[in-house]
Amino acid sequence: MAKAEVDRTVDRVSRAQALFSEFSQADVDAVIDALNKKSLINAEKWARMAHEETGYGTTEDKTVKNRFCAEKVYEFIKPLKTVGFIKSDPASGIYEVAAPMGVVAGVIPSTNPTSTAIYKIMIALKARNGIVISPHPAAKSCIGAVASVLGEAAVIAGAPDGIIGIIRQPTIEDTQYLMRHPQINVILATGGMGLVNAAYSSGKPAYGVGPGNVPAFIERTAVLRKAVRDVIAGKSFDWGTICASEQSVIVDKPLAEEAVREFKAAGGYFVNDREKALLEALVVNEKGFLNPKVVGRAPKVISSMAGFSVPEETRALIVPEGGVGRKYPLSLEKLSPILSYFEADGWEAGCQRCIEVLKYGGLGHTLCLHTTDREIIRQFALKKPAFRIIINSSGTHGAVGISTNLPPAMTLGCGALGNNITSDNITPMHLLDIKRVAYEARQVSGEEPVPLPPLTEDAAEVRNAAIASDARLYLSRTLGSPAHQGRRLNPLGAGLRFATSSVEGAEDFVCEEDVKAAIAEGRKIRIHSRTVVTPSARDLGEEKKVFESQ
């Protein structure tokens, strides 16, 4: 694609996003509903397309990933408020208002192409952004299918035409040009370190995620059979293409003999020294980089490429290792069903090995711990250089939010340790700018703070605010009288308290927060015939029998 065509695509999305930014929450959610339905219908079809185009993983597991993004990501983001006032704290006088960032450059990898496309489109549009997809060249057809179908579904649901764009014939130069484009507002990049570094050096705000050389430590108090099967499940899922999949397993020595039996029973194949040497020659090149030909391939395919055979039922190739680093080539992130195997005596030694693995290309990403010892969990949480500590579950499924309650995501931040801007699982909230409205809380000039009602978007509370506005006019006249000179107003208090009275012992104005405070303190609110009581305050106060008439 020539630069001119990238320009046209970005400009079209930018113009559509300008219209989309004015959508209500209900209108945005209608679009997200449509994306959910269309993605679920096409989940298996897109998985098959991805597998056929890239050769990575399996159609079955890619279908699971597509459904996860179509369904679980949708369920997580559906209730999120991303339009207008999204957070109100009347007690402090702080209000937060959502603003879309604009146009997202969504760079999609070949390892998880259709699932990541579904995910990035959903979270971008939920935040009222437009998105331009830049697919990996090896997966451009299946990613293009997702973008086309979801683009059409979004428009049918009411979104402006062009809200989802795609670079159809991508090159490295096109992607780099896109990330630096003046109409791109934020980059959401998933891929290798070269791509991530390019995103961060583009001059744009960027969420780029680092590699995940994930260690799993099976400590001596672990439920061993489950731990082993969890590790194998994570390592073999879609043949290791998810960055959170286990790359090394460290077994506490007292469990080692039984663990080897369990791994073999679960489909693990322990390679011998000759087979290990053959694997090293195949998997890692002379510069120490991973050979892309093994990524996402079945164990039987990889072993055949290396020059040896394994049983048909093999789910992971397990490589006994003596250390971590360049001298031990298979201790790096392998993105395939190849698992480095270590033994360590005690949790401190296991911890140290985990840190070594993380430092060799996985800092900040994910660490798995299988144990029933609460104090060891605490120590790993406090001290280990990873931002997702997955306990007694598969790293693959736990980190992305399939088997845990972490936010469901296909982009996992590694924090400053991994040279990333965030350690979070990326959600629509990362693609919003937040405006903050702040009421005065402390005097500056010596004058009393100006009494104001809470800001709100709720229809009933908007009505209350209008009544409160009338009340302020009334109170300003009342407070101007000599009887009220010198009285201190607190416009924050327990929400908003115009706690002043023209009738001794009674309030002139009562809002819902005043009623809630009275209920919490177990006291009554005295009102008189001219007290202004907001509708929600009256409903709650009468229900709880809070009011006393003067």
Residues taking part in catalysis = 243
Place of tokens 């009220």: 484
Residues linked to residue 550 through DSSP beta bridges, in sequence order: none
Residue 133 three-state SS: strand
- Among the listed residues 437, 491, 496, the one whose alpha carbon sits nearest the alpha carbon of residue 86: 437
CB-CB contact of 114 with 47 (8 Å): yes
Name the region of 483 (left: φ>0; alpha: ψ -120 to 50; beta: rest): alpha
DSSP 501: -
- Dump strand ranges (E) for 101-201: 103-108, 130-135, 164-166, 186-189
Give the contacts of 204 (CB within 8 A, at least 6 positions apart).
Answer: 105, 179, 180, 184, 185, 186, 187
Residue 323 three-state SS: coil
Instruction: Give the β-pairing of 364-370 and 214-218.
Output: parallel
Q: How far apart are CA 6 and CA 292, in angstroms?
A: 28
Residue 345 three-state SS: coil
Q: How far apart are CA 166 and CA 113, in angstroms?
A: 13
| Host H or E run for residue 50 | helix 25-54
Tokens of 419: 């040279």
CB-CB contact of 160 with 173 (8 Å): no
Name the region of 453 (left: φ>0; alpha: ψ -120 to 50; beta: rest): beta
Between the alpha carbon of residue 469 and those of residues 105, 135, 269, 493, the distances in Å are 44, 53, 74, 18
Residue 293 three-state SS: helix
Place of tokens 């309650």: 405
Please compute, for residue 265, the number of CA atoms within 13 A of its CA located in the half-sphere on the CB side.
13
| Host H or E run for residue 337 | none
DSSP 331: G
Q: How far apart are CA 490 and CA 350, in angstroms?
A: 57
Q: What is the dihedral of CA 66, 68, 71, 77, to 10 degrees?
A: -110
Name the region of 229 (left: φ>0; alpha: ψ -120 to 50; beta: rest): alpha
- Length of the chain, in residues: 550
